Amino acid sequence: MPTRGIIFDIGRVIVRINPRRALQALRPGSAGLSKAKAAALALGGSMGLSEAIWAKIQDDERWPDWQEGRMTPHEWHERVTSRLGVALPFEEFCAAWNSVLEPETILPESLFAALAARHRLAVLSNTDPLHSAYLEERFSFLRYFPVRIYSCAVGASKPSPAIYLAALRALDLPAAEALYIDDVPEYVNAARQLGCDAIHFQSAAQLSAELARRGIPAA
């Protein structure tokens, strides 16, 4: 069946994710720093301290609640600063948290303009209330995406089928007519299991080649 809709992940596909930017402000106190160093050592020194701290945050048992909208920003602020041993006011925390999203995108808006002329476009992202609001406020590429599915808004996150089905319903398309693009193989496979075509994103050039192979004009 022809591809009528294209669904994009956001982080590390459209928007660059840079934990170092956020963690310049979220520098942990002595207890949090020791735990982060221990995490880095446990991984055999395969990641830097910033990545270790970011991994520690994402490993929080309440991370799914934050990503799926069951925690408020104020509750998350209190939890993260407490775990890291940081004294940071709420507004400064929000600014630090959102700075992980780099302003320069990976993919150009011209690509989305070309695709939107012939296809229904959607974004589908595991993200939280702070990041989703920041994306809506700061990133102009979203004007090409009338359908925006955020895990914190729908109460489900990838790889749960529920979040993919929410995107398909919003696009009013069967899975067989949708193409899904993500940098995480597990999430790509979850889309395929529902019947979508899917691309494991690795670079802008690779994506362009994959679209061309499917006969989808990208310019």
d(CA 201, CA 219): 18
Q: What are the angstrom distances between the C-alpha of 204 and each of 71, 95, 140, 178?
A: 34, 29, 19, 20
Whether residue 161 has a cis bond before it, omega within 30° of 0? no
What is the β-pairing status of strands 101-105 and 178-182? unpaired
Among 74, 99, 124, give the residue marking a domain's end.
Answer: 99
pLDDT at 15 over 60: yes
**Residue 12 falls inside a structural domain:** yes
Helix (H) or strand (E) holding 5: strand 5-8
pTM (2 decimals)? 0.90
**Residue 219 falls inside a structural domain:** no
Among 99, 132, 167, give the residue marking a domain's end.
Answer: 99
pLDDT tens digits along 96-148: 999 999 999 999 999 999 999 999 999 999 999 999 999 999 999 999 999 99
**Residue 46 falls inside a structural domain:** yes
Q: What are the angstrom distances between the C-alpha of 4 and each of 10, 35, 77, 131, 197?
A: 20, 48, 40, 28, 11
Helices (H), 149-203: 151-154, 161-171, 185-193
**Residue 167 falls inside a structural domain:** yes
Query: Do residues 28 and 50 touch, judged by C-beta distance below 8 A?
Result: no
**39: pLDDT confidence band, cut at 50, 70 and 90?**
very low
Residue range of the domain that includes 91: 19-99
**33: pLDDT confidence band, cut at 50, 70 and 90?**
very low
pLDDT at 43: 41
Same domain for 196 and 152, yes or no, is: yes
The full DSSP string for 37-71 is HHHHHHTTT-S-HHHHHHHHHHTSTTHHHHHTT-S
Same domain for 86 and 58, yes or no, is: yes
**Residue 159 falls inside a structural domain:** yes
> How many domains does the chain contain in total?
2
Q: What is the b/e burial string over 25-35, where b = at least 16 CB atoms within 10 angstroms of the residue's CB? A: ebbbeeebbeb
pLDDT at 47: 52
**Residue 218 falls inside a structural domain:** no
Among 81, 99, 117, give the residue marking a domain's end.
Answer: 99
